[in-house]
C-alpha cells in the first residue's frame, strides 16, 4: 500500500502520517529530509523528533531519497517519508552549489538535471518497494503566483512532483486542519 498525504503548511499531515504509521505497523522507519539551517529549523526538527516513538528507526537523507527508500526497504517494516517539499528544495539548490559570494538577493542556479534524475529514481523506488509506504508533501499551488522566478520554479517542480507521486500511490489524501479528505 502506497499512501500520499498532501496539504498546506501546519495542516496536520505529519502528525496524521505518524499516527497512521503507528496504527499500521510496529516496525516503522521514518525517512526524513529536513536539515538544520537555523535555530528555528532546529526547533522544528526537534519537535518532530519528540512526536515519534523512540523505537522507530530514523534515516536522515536530505537528497538521495531513492537510495534511502531502497536501503530501508531491505530492513522491512513500514516506511514513512517526511517530507517531499524540503527534499525538492534540497535537490534543486544543494548548499554546496550555492555561491556564497553572489550578490545578496541573486537567484541561485537550480540543479534541474540532477533534480529530475533523483525525482525519477525516487518514483521508481516507491513503485518497487515491497514495503507499505506513507509519503508526506506540501500542496504549494493553491495560492498566488510567486513574484520571482526562483519561487515559481520551486512551485512548478513541487506541483509536478506531487502529481507524479499521486499517480503512483494507491491512496491520496488532502489534509486540512488535521482532517484527511480522500482524493484517490
Active site residues: 48
Q: Per DSSP, what are the bridge partners of residue 79?
A: 29, 133
CB atoms within 10 A of CB 87: 28
- Residue 6 contacts residue 174 (beta carbons within 8 Å): yes
CB atoms within 10 A of CB 160: 14
Angle at 29 between CA 28 and CA 33, to 5 degrees: 140
Please spell the DSSP secondary structure of 25-69, one letter per residue.
-SSEEEEE-----SHHHHHHHHHHHHHS-TTSEEEE-SS-HHHHH
Amino acid at each position: 500500500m502506497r499512501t500520499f498525504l498532501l496539504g498546506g503548511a501546519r495542516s496536520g499531515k505529519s502528525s496524521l502520517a505518524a499516527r497512521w504509521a503507528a496504527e499500521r505497523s510496529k516496525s516503522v522507519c521514518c525517512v526524513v529530509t529536513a536539515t538544520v539551517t537555523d535555530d528555528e529549523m532546529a526547533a522544528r526538527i526537534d519537535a518532530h523528533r519528540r512526536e515519534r516513538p523512540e523505537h522507530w528507526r530514523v534515516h536522515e537523507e536530505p537528497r538521495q531519497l531513492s537510495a534511502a527508500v531502497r536501503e530501508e526497504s531491505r530492513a522491512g517494516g513500514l516506511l514513512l517519508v517526511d517530507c517531499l517539499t524540503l527534499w525538492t528544495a534540497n535537490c534543486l539548490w544543494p548548499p554546496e552549489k550555492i555561491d556564497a559570494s553572489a550578490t545578496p538577493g541573486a537567484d541561485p542556479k537550480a540543479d534541474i538535471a540532477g533534480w529530475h534524475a533523483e525525482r525519477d529514481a525516487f518514483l521508481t523506488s516507491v513503485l518497487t518497494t515491497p514495503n507499505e509506504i506513507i509519503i508526506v508533501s506540501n500542496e504549494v499551488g493553491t495560492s498566488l503566483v510567486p513574484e520571482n522566478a526562483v519561487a515559481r520554479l520551486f512551485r512548478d517542480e513541487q506541483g509536478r512532483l506531487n502529481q507524479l507521486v499521486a499517480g503512483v500511490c494507491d491512496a491520496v489524501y488532502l489534509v486540512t486542519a488535521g482532517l484527511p479528505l480522500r482524493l484517490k
